[in-house]
Amino acid sequence: MTATTLLVGPFNRVEGDLEVRLTIAEGRVQAAHVNAPLFRGFEMILAGKDPRDALTLVPRICGICSISQSAAAARALAAAQGLVPSPDGAAMAALIHAVENACDHLTHFHLFFMPDFARPAYAGRGWHGAAVERFAPMSGRAARGAVAARAEVMHILGLMAGKWPHTLAIQPGGVTRTPTARDRVRILASLRAFRGWMERDLFGGRLEDFAALGSVRELMGWTGGDVGLFLRIAADCGLEGLGRGAGRYMSFGAYPLADGPVFAPGLWDGAARALDTGGIVEDLSHAWMLGETAHPARGETRPDEAMAAPGYTWCKAPRLEGTTWETGALARQVVDGHPLAIDLARSGGVLARVAGRLLELARLQGVMERLAEGVRPEARHLVDAPMPAEAVGEGLVEAARGALGHWLRVERGRIASYQIIAPTTWNFSPRDAAGVPGPLEAALEGVPVAEGEAVPVAVQHVVRSFDPCMVCTVH
Residue 41 found at the interface with another protein (CB under 8 A): yes
d(CA 92, CA 148): 24
Asked if residue 10 has a cis previous peptide bond (ω within 30° of 0), the answer is yes
> DSSP of 229-265, one letter per residue?
HHHHHHHHHTTTSTT---S-EEE--EEEETTEEEE--
**Residue of 238, 337, 374, 377 interacting with another protein (CB under 8 A):** 377
Interface residue with another protein, options 7, 25, 84, 433 (CB under 8 A): 7
CB 65 → another protein: shortest distance, Å?
9
**Among the candidate windows 176-184, 234-242, 267-275, 399-407, which touches another protein by CB under 8 A?**
176-184
Based on CB atoms, which residue is closest to another protein, 174 or 439?
174
Query: Which residues, numbered 120-159, are part of the site for another protein (CB under 8 A)?
Result: 136-139, 143-144, 147-148, 150-152, 154-155, 157-159
- Best CA proximity match to 113, nearest among 13, 34, 237: 13
Q: Name the 3-class secondary structure at 189.
A: helix
Report the candidate in 117, 465, 238, 212 with the shortest Cα–Cα distance to residue 222. 212
**Could you tell me the smallest distance in angstroms from the CB atom of residue 103 to another protein?**
9
Quote the least distance from Cβ 143 to another protein, whole Å: 7
In the complex, the smallest distance separating the C-beta of residue 26 from another protein, rounded to whole angstroms, is 21
- Please pick, from the candidates 72, 91, 93, 116, the single residue that binds another protein as defined by CB under 8 A: 116
Using the rule CB under 8 A, give the single segment among 63-71, 201-209, 216-224, 291-299 that binds another protein: 63-71
Count residues near another protein (CB under 8 A): 89
Least distance from C-beta 144 to another protein, angstroms? Answer: 5
Q: Is 114 in the site for another protein (CB under 8 A)?
A: no
Please say which residue, 154 or 211, places its beta carbon nearer to another protein.
Answer: 154
Give 378: exposed, middle or buried? Use CB within 10 Å, 0-12, 13-18, 19+: exposed
Contacts of 142 by beta carbon, 8 Å cutoff, 6+ apart = 110, 114, 134, 135, 201, 202, 226
Strand order in the sheet with 4-8: 4-8, 19-25, 28-35
- Report the distance separating Cα 452 and Cα 65, nearest Å: 36
Any contact of residue 211 with another protein (CB under 8 A)? no
64 is a contact residue toward another protein (CB under 8 A): yes
User: Footprint of another protein on residues 277-336 (CB under 8 A)?
Assistant: 303, 305, 307, 314
By beta-carbon proximity to another protein, the closer residue of 149 and 213 is: 149
Contact flag: residue 57 with another protein (CB under 8 A)? yes
Could you give the CA distance from residue 319 to residue 280 in angstroms, rounded to a whole number?
Answer: 6
Q: Does 381 bind another protein (CB under 8 A)?
A: yes
